Amino acid sequence: MKKLLLSTAILLSVVFTNAQSFSITYESVDVTNDTVFLSIPLNTNIDAYFHINNLTSSTIAAHVQRYVECAPSSFTHLWCFGSSCYAGNVFGINADVAGSSYTEFHVGPVLMSENTTGYTFRYTFYPVANPADSVWVWLVNDPNGDCTSSRSLVDASQTKAKVYPNPADNYTDFEFKLNSVNSRLDIYNIIGEKVKSISLNKKEGVIRLNTANLPAGTYIGNVIESGIRTKSIKIIVSH
């Protein structure tokens, strides 16, 4: 009986520890760990509003980290989280999100008249007290294919990717089925730093990823095929 109670307590601890605190909505649509594609002229300022929803009953001090994957030729990044707004070289900001409510996140980069290229930004949200409990959203406006020049050659819906075990300790196996042999897996930490890049020289298979030297936390694995990000997966490292 004691063993049963202990096992139950451990299981409940794991469930609650891994429970997601936030979700992200855009125009009332859940876009948590997904991509929002805009379709606006390149010289038009962005005016995108997201709701960062607190799925718990307690107020959470939240952090958002900005990462620029593909930059416009000329822009000023303006963004607001809650009542505070920032620009320029600020890449991370905090705001409280009330329990069972939301805080507004506003993205409004000002694009200069000489801008002629597309852009892709990623925003990652997590509780200040628990960075491993993260969610993210990509924001893409790329009408000319500047950031994804071969988009038409790759069918992202056919890309399959997963890792196991997840959480990982010393290793995790990455299983994939791709469109192209000209591919790679880029792994980023939650502040947008690339920590690994693995070439994938076949369309289908399983490779073992060494995670022993990665600090415990949440990572984003991006599958890149012919220069296009076709799949994103969450990798949790727990030592």
Domains of the chain: 20-141 (2.60.40.10), 151-237 (2.60.40.10)
CB atoms near residue 5 (< 10 Å): 9
- Residue type for 221, please? G
**pLDDT of 207 strictly over 90:** yes
Residues near 135 by beta carbon (within 8 Å), at least 6 away in sequence:
20, 22, 23, 24, 32, 33, 124, 125, 126
Element (H, E) at 8: helix 2-17
Q: What distance in Å separates the CA atoms of residue 33 and residue 122, rounded to the nearest whole number?
A: 10
Phi, psi of 151, rounded to the nearest 5 degrees: -50, -40
Please report which confidence band the pLDDT of residue 195 belongs to, taking 50, 70 and 90 as the band edges.
very high
Q: What is the pLDDT of residue 113?
A: 62
Would the pLDDT of 9 be above 60? no
> What integer best gives the mean pLDDT of the chain?
82
Q: In the chain, pLDDT over 70 holds for what percent of residues? A: 83
Q: pLDDT digit string (tens) for 111-166?
A: 666 677 778 888 989 898 887 788 888 888 877 777 754 344 456 667 899 999 99
* Cis bond upstream, residue 165 (ω within 30): yes
What pLDDT does residue 181 have? 76
